[in-house]
Every structure is written in structure tokens, then in C-alpha cells.
């Protein structure tokens, strides 16, 4: 297969440019998060601009803390429709839930920090430890 090299990148150069490993890109393919890329007759993977856009999307939602299961759900929606905009309503739901979970953790950690400070204060007071 003859490929237009300007519009495509080999797996190694793409991995380097995105700051991931080639193993990561192969794993995303294996898990169905991205479509298998085009290959040369020698089996070398080449990624199109669309492939690269999808990989960047996966990396971004991973960075935002989505679970592998959630990423696979979004990939499945994409595979069914081949329309990225069909993913967005579900992505918004997932992000809203994720944001609420983060706020719950923040409240819990803030409460824990107050409890620790109070406990520390009582220890210092009880044992007369200089501050």
C-alpha cells in the first residue's frame, strides 16, 4: 500500500510526538478505543489525521480521569455512529458525574484535614508540646 506520508505518521514518531509509548497506542487499538490504523505491505502502522485526532481525544479524557470502561463506552458510541458529535451528550453526563465525585472527595478531604488539625491541637495541648 502506498501512503501519503505528509498526512500520516508512523507509530514511533506519533508516540514520541504525543508523549506516549508505542505500546500504549497498540493497547488503545486492542481495547477498541481507536480503530486499527492503515498498514503498509510490510505491516508498519500509519496513522491518519483522523486517527491522531481520536488518539488525542482518548488521551484527553484519560487525563480528565475517565475510567477505561467509560472510554470504551464512548468508543462504542463512536463505532456505532462514526459521528464524534454523538459522543458529546454522553461525555457531558460522564464529566458532570466525575466533577460531582471530585467535589465529594474534596469535601471529605477537607473534613479529614480539619479532624487532623483538631486532633493535633488536642495532643499538643494535652502533652504541653511547644508549637
Instruction: Determine the Cα–Cα distance for residues 120 and 122; give it in Å rounded to an integer.
Output: 5
C-alpha cell recorded at residue 100: 460531582
pTM above 0.75, yes or no: yes
- Domain architecture of the chain: domains with CATH: 1-66 (1.10.1660.10)
- pLDDT attached to residue 6: 53
Between 130 and 63, the more confident residue is: 63
Strand arrangement, sheet containing 9-10: 9-10, 45-47, 38-39
User: pLDDT over 70 for what percent of the chain?
Assistant: 95
Q: Residues with Cβ < 8 Å from 37, sequence gap 6 or more?
A: 11, 29, 45, 46, 47, 48, 51
Kindly report, residue by residue over 72-116, the tens digit of the pLDDT. Answer: 999 999 888 878 788 899 999 999 999 999 999 999 999 999 999
Instruction: Determine the Cα–Cα distance for residues 126 and 108; give it in Å rounded to an integer.
Output: 27
Amino acid at each position: 500500500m502506498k501512503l501519503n506520508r505528509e498526512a500520516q505518521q508512523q507509530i514511533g514518531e506519533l508516540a514520541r510526538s504525543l508523549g506516549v509509548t508505542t505500546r500504549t497506542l497498540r493497547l488503545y487499538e486492542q481495547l477498541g478505543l481507536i480503530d486499527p490504523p492503515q498498514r503498509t505491505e510490510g505491516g508498519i502502522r500509519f496513522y491518519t489525521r483522523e486517527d491522531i485526532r481520536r488518539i488525542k481525544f482518548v488521551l484527553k479524557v484519560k487525563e480528565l480521569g475517565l475510567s477505561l470502561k467509560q472510554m470504551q463506552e464512548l468508543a462504542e458510541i463512536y463505532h456505532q455512529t462514526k459521528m464524534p458529535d454523538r459522543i458529546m451528550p454522553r461525555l457531558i453526563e460522564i464529566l458532570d458525574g466525575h466533577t460531582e465525585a471530585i467535589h465529594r472527595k474534596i469535601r471529605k478531604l477537607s473534613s479529614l484535614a480539619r479532624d487532623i488539625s483538631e486532633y493535633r491541637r488536642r495532643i499538643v495541648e494535652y502533652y504541653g508540646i511547644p508549637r
